[in-house]
Amino acid sequence: MIRLRRAVLPAATMERLRDYTDDIRQQVTEQERKDRAKQLWANRRQVRPALAKGLAEMAPGHERCMYCGDGQGTDIDHFEPKSLAPLRTFDWLNHVLACSFCNSNQKRSRFPVAADGSPLLVDPTAEDPLDHLRLVLALGTYQGLTDRGRACIEVFGLNARAVLVKGRMDAYAAAGVFMRMWRMTMDEGKSDKAKGIVRLAWNHPLIDVLVNMFHQSGHPAADALFVGEEDVLELLRDPELRAAFLHFRGVSY
């Protein structure tokens, strides 16, 4: 997971979403609200194109899943399931782009909460997953820094899915290649080609790896975290490279 910025939907779409929510709110019982929410969501043709477009703009890489960062984002998932919170069915702040595996196989209607009722899952469109999860770069596995991070690892199977772990290890190696290519290309004075390399790096699947690399390069224990990859750490600390790569995403680590 990486931090994502929530897109702004057209005013007409937002108005339609509010109309749907008002319709659900007018139902008398909670079960009637759930039934009505399910019915309206099944017939959401008037808002689906705008929702899909907004989520696609927000998603990492080429419309990757906002949870695992690997699969194609094909599903509009409700962060807080509509079966638990029918009034949030058409809440734009509750919509996340997910791959079908994360949505249908992993998360489903699971929504663990803490003792005080607050969500244990991290919403990447509202907060920074780096506060809750740390990627062990060489192993391709996540460590939970908080209860919420550990809940994400369990619910989304972030370490249990071998394809994700192997993919992150490959993404780690690929990121190093991109950075070395960028440095060589810049040294040759080919700035336009270097910009293309930055774009390719950020459009690669599993860019949570790249985000963690930049983040961890500033850690006091960075020399230990990048043992065997000292040249990559040097590149990650290169002010010119950091400016080029991080400006592309409009972030700082």
96-137 pLDDT, tens digit each: 999 999 999 999 999 999 999 999 999 999 999 999 999 999
Other residues' Cβ atoms within 10 Å of the Cβ of residue 86? 25
pLDDT in the model for residue 166: 97
Single-letter residue type at 2: I
Q: Which one, of 66, 142, 80, 90, lies nearest residue 112 by Cα?
A: 80
Other residues' Cβ atoms within 10 Å of the Cβ of residue 20? 20
Q: Does the pLDDT value for residue 250 go beyond 90?
A: no
pLDDT in the model for residue 2: 96
Q: Does the pLDDT value for residue 72 go beyond 80?
A: yes
* Residues in CB range of 220: below 8 A, 6 or more apart: none
> How do residues 152-188 score in pLDDT, each as one tens digit?
999 999 999 999 999 999 999 999 999 999 999 999 9
Burial class (CB in 10 A: 0-12, 13-18, 19+), 53: middle
The pTM for the full model equals 0.92
pLDDT in the model for residue 249: 78
Dist. CA 67–CA 215, nearest whole Å: 19
* Tokens 């990627």 -> residue: 135
Q: Do residues 2 and 250 make contact, with C-beta atoms less than 8 angstroms apart?
A: no
Q: Does the pLDDT value for residue 253 go beyond 90?
A: no
Q: Where are the alpha helices (DSSP H) in the chain?
A: 11-25, 30-42, 48-58, 100, 147-155, 162-187, 191-203, 208-217, 222-225, 230-236, 239-249
pLDDT in the model for residue 248: 82
